[in-house]
Structure 1
């Protein structure tokens, strides 16, 4: 008799990641991994190293040391880049492409054949349907962020990196982005989301990872972190975060 065992594949592996600026470590020899279908909230005060960590993972910053693999491939390989999308804190879109042309560009780059239908869904969700012909340079920061999110979702990636995705969004867009998090989780996608809006990840995160001064000081399920926290299970994620990141 043949027994099949379902094993979750590691979608992201970070081993001994270091990023130095001059002699200062912005990221200090951190190691962690994300399983397939796992949602992890990355928290930390300003300057903790969250954005630097994400930028090193996706290849926007050159790491000083360490190994990073995505879906079993080196993070800088074409094979890895086909698997993930990255939504930066500050949206970077093309000044002379329209909203629709941004989606078409992503579709052609990733070979998305049904992109028009998928794009329409995201345009409606983010109130971009009547702005499809606007150039990137004519959009507000919030609109640019919406376009950035739509472009990231279009190729249906297996792993998504969100760096402060709510920055600049209006309340409706924030609500819809939270819904997208839940939908992506239900679809088994792997998500690493860095945010200061803790309620946006508290309900859906399988695990919370907290950084301070370039180090990971907490990395566990919320219930396990609370169990080791003086406030007990009645404490909130905010209470836990403030306690772990307070100055000694």
Structure 2
């Protein structure tokens, strides 16, 4: 479970996130929607421990500031960060050693093959395109077998095949009981994935729905009902 409690983030006098609270239950996919600048990435980075903030974040009932919580979540940032001098393969080896996760050679190769990286595993981080870096970030996040998975605009820069594969991975992770939070402004990319949606505008949650509440209503219709037709 992922619990956000009264999260507030200021940059100087600018209030980027304004007392936001929401919960994504175990084994559900939460979608954080809103235009660029709404505060989505700030929330994701705060959960990941990359920003100081006011309020609380619980990961499986543990504060995100605790090491035990950090071991339980995988994070795919909007802008992938790679080590220039490490190869694709070395990035995966670094991650599984850092998290103390036992990973077989077959598991590593399965991930590389799934995201068409098996022939790129000897390439250095500074030799990769944005799309390839995104794929490596996804593989690293999955490698630790997270209980909570966070993805910030994960489909930007991916080719159509990789987008299809990522969607399938998200559904598989949900089936395995993983709690997932996806931040995006690309409504069409998450239509078949979501269980609960949170719509942001100017640093606040202005509306939310569960799949059960929405019934057969399309996610785009729900979004426009809440925002008054502004996709941003």
Q: What RMSD in Å do the two structures reach over aligned CA positions?
A: 1.6
Q: Could you say which residue in structure 1 is the equivalent of 2:46?
A: 56
1 CA distance for matches of 2:15 and 2:160?
A: 36
Superposition TM-score, scaled by structure 1 size:
0.88
Q: Cα offset for 1:41?
A: 1.0
Q: Could you say which residue in structure 1 is the equivalent of 2:37?
A: 47
User: Is 1:148 equivalent to 2:137 in the alignment?
Assistant: yes
Deviating runs (4+, > 3 A) in structure 1? none
2 CA distance for matches of 1:23 and 1:108?
A: 40
Decide which moves more: 212-221 or 236-245. 236-245
Q: Could you say which residue in structure 2 is the equivalent of 1:167?
A: 156
Assess if the C-alpha contact under 8 Å between 2:36 and 2:185 holds in 1: no
Q: Secondary structure at the match of 1:220?
A: strand
1:103 to 80, 87, 92: 92
Q: Could you say which residue in structure 2 is the equivalent of 1:93?
A: 82
User: Is 1:206 equivalent to 2:206 in the alignment?
Assistant: no
2:9 to 9, 19, 22: 19
2:186 to 185, 190, 197: 197
Equivalenced residues, count: 230
2 CA distance for matches of 1:28 and 1:114?
A: 40
1 CA distance for matches of 2:56 and 2:96?
A: 30
1 CA distance for matches of 2:80 and 2:223?
A: 27
Q: Secondary structure at the match of 1:132?
A: coil
User: Is 1:76 equivalent to 2:58 in the alignment?
Assistant: no
Q: Secondary structure at the match of 1:202?
A: coil
Assess if the C-alpha contact under 8 Å between 1:20 and 1:26 holds in 2: yes
